[in-house]
Amino acid sequence: MIVTATAVVCAVGVLLTPGTALAAPAEPDPAQDRRLEELHRRIEGLYRKATSATDDYNAAREKTAEQRKKLDRIEKRATAAGERMTELRAQAGAMARAHYRGGGMPDTMRLLLEGGSEDFLHDADVARKGQQAQRDLIAGLAATQRRLDGYAESADEELSRLRTQQKKRATAKKEIEARIAAAEKLESRLQAEELERLRELEAEEARKAQAEWLESGVLDEIDARASARGRKAIAYATRQLGKDYEWGAEGPRTFDCSGLTSQAWAAADRPIPRTSQEQWKRLTRVRIADMRPGDLIVYHSDASHVGMYVGRGEIVHAPRPGRQITLAGAGSMRILGVVRPDPGEDGPAEKGGDGPGKP
């Protein structure tokens, strides 16, 4: 023990001796950085493809829900038509039995043989009404049968569409899971130090992109204020900060990117499409220079990512699997364009975008 303690003291003494050089922090290894940057591109590419497939999954899930509702409506109408058909058939059966009891003789002939002349005109009118009722009954049976046939055909078509969407959803789910698993496998091969450096490189890349975006002077032109609904949407979105990203999720515990933006605007009483691609297609586009807090910034050429602009050059967004909802530079990714969920409030918005990422 004495020898060990002495050795430790001597070692410490050497380290603390004036003039002794302390080991400097290791400088980044350019070769390692190049390898990690390439790995980062591969990982981000896999997550991008998973995000795109998530939009496909969400769209298929929405259409599946819509088609199920249509099938339910068709089934209710078919049930009502079936009940009407049963009622009409019962009436037809009663008429057939009455006709049989009358010996199959036409009503007018039976009246001539059985009734007196003073009652003939009255009874003949009743007979004509009976014949009209028979014709109406037959027409009603035919029309109801046509409706039933139409409902059956519509149900078959909707069921076929439903099955198609279910297959699309299943295919998208497999692709999402495969891409995420591949990305996680690549990350799992890294040591803790390499993972930390990879995070640093990601942050550096985002900072650089954001700096270039800000240097364009875009914030000098953006001075619009959020609408009343926009403020509600921002409040909802920012309350979710720190929650995990989960593909296909729309709260309340986890979200994907468009799940966050769609739920935020739903909370502001302004329902918008569920997916980032549909948000890009169907919402009103505005110039970046006219952007205001609450607007949605859509990213990448395939509109596979979306975030909500909150002002000061920042967005709130759900980045990707393995990350949490956070604030980020609005220009830290490639901007496709900006859309506005509430163009009619606090001034009109312009139709059409202004090109990818330029103010």
Q: Across the chain, which distance is largest between two alpha carbons, in Å?
A: 143
Q: Which of 110-119, 136-145, 185-194 has the lowest mean pLDDT?
A: 110-119
Q: Is residue 21 part of a domain?
A: no
Q: In terms of domains, do 167 and 309 share one?
A: no
pLDDT at residue 45, rounded to an integer = 83
Q: Which of 120, 111, 83, 331 is nearest to 205 (CA)?
A: 331
User: Which pLDDT belongs to residue 8?
Assistant: 35
Side chain identity at 278, as an amino acid letter? E
Report how far residue 14's alpha carbon sits from residue 69's, in angstroms, rounded to the nearest whole number: 79
199 membership: H or E segment, kind and range: helix 192-215
User: 252, exposed or middle or buried, with CB in 10 Å at 0-12, 13-18, 19+?
Assistant: exposed
| Residue 257 annotated as catalytic | yes
Residue 15 belongs to a domain? no
Residue 73 pLDDT exceeds 70: yes
Are residue 178 and residue 217 in the same domain, yes or no?
no
- The proportion of the chain whose per-residue pLDDT surpasses 70, expressed as a percent, equals 77
Residue 93 shares a structural domain with residue 238: no
In a domain, 2, yes or no: no
> Is residue 87 helix, strand or coil?
helix
70's tokens:
């249509």
- pLDDT band (50, 70, 90) for residue 260: very high
> Is the alpha carbon torsion for 346, 354, 279, 238 positive or negative?
negative
Asked if pLDDT for residue 17 goes beyond 50, the answer is no
Residue reference for tokens 């990714």: 333
User: Which residue among 152, 185, 218 closes a domain?
Assistant: 185
Given a contact cutoff of 8 angstroms between Cβ atoms, the answer to whether 293 and 345 are in contact is no
Same domain flag for 131 and 244: no
Q: Do the domain assignments include residue 12?
A: no
**223: pLDDT strictly greater than 80:** no
Of the pLDDT bands very low, low, confident and very high (cuts 50, 70, 90), residue 12 is: very low
For residues 225 and 344, the answer to whether their CB atoms sit within 8 Å is no
Quick one: residue 327, left, alpha or beta (phi over 0 = left, psi -120 to 50 = alpha)?
A: beta
Q: Quick: pLDDT tens for 212-221.
A: 888 878 777 7
Residue 166: CATH number of its domain: 1.10.287.2610
Give the residue-averaged pLDDT of 43-61: 86
The H or E element containing residue 340 is strand 335-340
Tell me: pLDDT of 324 over 60: yes
Instruction: State yes or no: pLDDT of 135 exceeds 80.
Output: no
For strand 335-340 and strand 296-299, is the pairing parallel, antiparallel, or unpaired? antiparallel
Q: Are residues 36 and 73 in the same domain?
A: yes
Residue 256 belongs to some domain of the structure: yes
Report which of residues 122 and 32 the model is more confident about.
32
Tokens 């001034």 identify what position? Answer: 347
119: its two tokens: 């009652």
Across the chain, what does the average pLDDT equal? 79
Clarify whether residues 150 and 208 are in a common domain. no
Question: How many Cβ atoms are within 10 Å of 47's Cβ, its own excluded?
Answer: 24
Of 90, 182, 65, 199, the C-alpha closest to 140 is 90
Strands 305-311 and 314-317: antiparallel
Domain boundary among 154, 185, 216: 185
Q: Is the per-residue pLDDT at 144 higher than 50?
A: yes
User: Predicted confidence band at 284 (pLDDT cuts at 50, 70, 90)?
Assistant: very high
State the pLDDT at residue 255: 97
Amino acid 63: pLDDT: 84
Query: Could you say which of 150, 185, 220 is where a domain stops?
Result: 185
Please tell me whether residue 244 adopts helix, strand or coil conformation: strand
**Quick one: pLDDT band at residue 128, thresholds 50, 70, 90?**
low
pLDDT of residue 52: 85
Domain of residue 96: give its range.
Answer: 31-185
- Selecting among 10, 40, 99, 257, the annotated active-site residue is 257
Q: pLDDT tier at 278 (50, 70, 90 boundaries)? A: very high
Lowest mean pLDDT among 165-179, 256-270, 318-332: 165-179
Shared domain for 129 and 217, answered yes or no, is: no
Residue at 100 is within a domain = yes
92 and 171 inside one domain: yes
What length does the chain have? 359
* Residue at 140 is within a domain: yes
User: What CATH number does the domain containing 302 carry?
Assistant: 3.90.1720.10
304 and 173 belong to one structural domain: no
Is 305 noted as a catalytic residue in this protein? yes
- Cα separation, 209 vs 128, whole angstroms: 87
Residue 206 and residue 181 share a domain:
no
The one-letter code for the residue type at 69 is: K
Cα(257)–Cα(247) distance, rounded to whole angstroms?
Answer: 8
Query: For the chain, how many structural domains are there in total?
Result: 2
DSSP 255: B
- What's the pLDDT score for residue 106? 55
175 in the same domain as 217: no
Please tell me which residue in 10, 122, 300, 317 is annotated as part of the active site: 317
Q: Is residue 235 part of a domain?
A: yes
Active site residue 317: yes
pLDDT of residue 99: 63
Query: Could you read off the pLDDT of 86-102 as tens digits, one per residue?
Result: 877 787 777 667 666 65
Q: Which residues of 84-97 are buried (b: 16+ CB within 10 A; e: fewer)?
A: bbeebeebeeeeee
pLDDT at 296: 98
Q: Residues 334-356: what's their mean pLDDT?
A: 70
**Tell me, what's the pLDDT at 210?**
87
- pLDDT given for residue 168 in this prediction: 84
213 and 174 share one domain: no
Average pLDDT (304-331) is: 94
- DSSP assignment of 268-323: TT----SSHHHHHHHSEEE-GGG--TT-EEEETTTT-EEEEEEETTEEEE--STT-
Task: Please tell me whether residue 334 adopts helix, strand or coil conformation.
Answer: coil
